[in-house]
Amino acid sequence: MIPSVKERKKAWVQPAQCVACGACVGSCPRGAIRVVKGVFAQVDPVLCVGCGKCMRICPAGAIRQEGPK
């Protein structure tokens, strides 16, 4: 069973681990991710639906997911 959008975990980035490659930006179906000053990616929690695509594609393993608030 696929969790509803409300139950899905939101993505967040560990800036120190991010290599700012932009792979996550292109993978996000909601456009919830942007690269800040070419240094690290940042996820907009309002737009993120917790699909996990960014987490799976990140070559540095810098993206994590947290539970619903």
Q: Is residue 42 part of a domain?
A: yes
Q: Is residue 31 part of a domain?
A: yes
CA distance linking residue 69 with residue 57, whole number of Å: 25
Q: How many domains does the chain have?
A: 1
The Cα-based distances of 47 to 4, 28, 32, 57, 61 in angstroms read: 15, 10, 5, 18, 21
pLDDT at position 31 over 80: yes
List the CATH number of the domain containing 57: 3.30.70.20
State pLDDT tens for residues 32-65: 999 999 999 999 999 999 999 999 999 999 999 9
Amino acid residing at 58 = C
User: Residues near 31 by Cβ (< 8 Å), separated by ≥ 6?
Assistant: 47
Q: Is residue 30 part of a domain?
A: yes
pTM of the model: 0.80
CA distance linking residue 62 with residue 58, whole number of Å: 7
